[in-house]
Amino acid sequence: MKYTPSTFKKALAAKELYGFCYLHGQQRYLIDAYAAAIIHALGAGEDDVAVIDGDQLDMEQLGDMAVTVSFAPVQVTVINGLSPEATSEADITRLGEIADYLSPQTTLIIKENFLPEGPRNKRAKAQKLRKLAQEKGVLVDVGQKDTRQNLTVAQALAKKEGVQIGQTDLRYLLERCGGDLLKTQNELCKLGSYRLGEPVTRRDIDAFTPRTVELTSFEMARALLRGDVPQAMRLLEDLFSLREEPVSIIAALSTNFCDIFKVKVAGAAYMSASQIEKTFGYRPGDFRIKQAGQNGRGVSQQQIDAIIEALLQCDLALKSTAADPKILLQKLLVEISLLMRRH
């Protein structure tokens, strides 16, 4: 069975969510919240729940835990953060076998680690695992809330944590956290502890909340598009000072230029915003479409094609050579700036 946010609550109330449960989506906060709701509905206490780190998963040990009949009325095993593309075909097959032989008292909840699709990551194993869950148990898509809905959740989180913050500043914090609700919650706790009951301000956010690699790469791309190479270099330096992985930097930077490419191609085909969302998998009202349209106005199709090729070559070099990652990325920024000067 497959459930979405609109059908999840009803299934929860009807006690249909048990056995082999696979949760996926872009917001880790929502995945954690949905898993907690399933555990609560099952009536499981702390002693009835075993948590396994997805990166340290031993499939044989999991099989022993999941199929062993327990004297407890409910037994829940949670795999916390399973990375599909790092899971072997043999382990996927073994998961299917475990799903077939779960003991009646056992519910297995798998929380998927989300990884955006890219040229070198087609999410094939993620699709295979989701299909497996839909056939043998429960597949839950936690969805992706839009900016307004995320702000509503963030306001509830601020109230829950007892943090005073204005709506404008909260929206700024949410943007600085890349729209990630779990990061926003963690930052609210940190800022609230610092302010000790006083309202959190934008100055506090700038001082204590680091930009995400996604937000910084977006600003880096905009700097390159307007020809401000020194600013792009400073932003790159910021990311290295935060110890961001080079492959994460190139992936985030590539996303911005790929957005421009998609919007340009869609514009040439006279596609509407809703058609672009549906065709390329953007969430409804995604601001990335509007931003890509604005940022790509001064970029020709030839330029964006050449920039994406440069990004691809840099990505390959980062993953297949022993060259200094920082030098490779600096070279990339200069190359993109030179491509932007061609007409």
* Cβ–Cβ under 8 Å, residues 139 and 3: yes
pLDDT value, residue 122: 55
* Cβ–Cβ under 8 Å, residues 42 and 180: no
For residue 101 the two structure tokens come to: 């032989």
For residue 319 the two structure tokens come to: 């993953």
pLDDT value, residue 72: 64
DSSP string across 50-80: EEEEGGG--HHHHHHHHHS--SSS-EEEEEE
CA–CA distance, 141 with 185 (Å, rounded to integer): 21
Distance in angstroms between the alpha carbons of the first and the last residue of the chain = 53
| pLDDT, tens digit (0-9, with 9 covering 90-100), for 164-188 | 999 999 999 988 887 889 889 999 9
Compute CA distances 197 → 152, 165, 185, whole Å: 21, 10, 16
> Which residues, given as ranges, of the chain have pLDDT below 70?
68-72, 115-122, 284-285, 343
| pLDDT, tens digit (0-9, with 9 covering 90-100), for 142-162 | 987 777 888 899 999 999 899
pLDDT value, residue 119: 45
| pLDDT, tens digit (0-9, with 9 covering 90-100), for 76-90 | 999 999 998 889 999
With tokens 């989506």, the residue in question is 25
Whole-prediction pTM: 0.67
CA–CA distance, 104 with 290 (Å, rounded to integer): 50
For residue 4 the two structure tokens come to: 């979405």
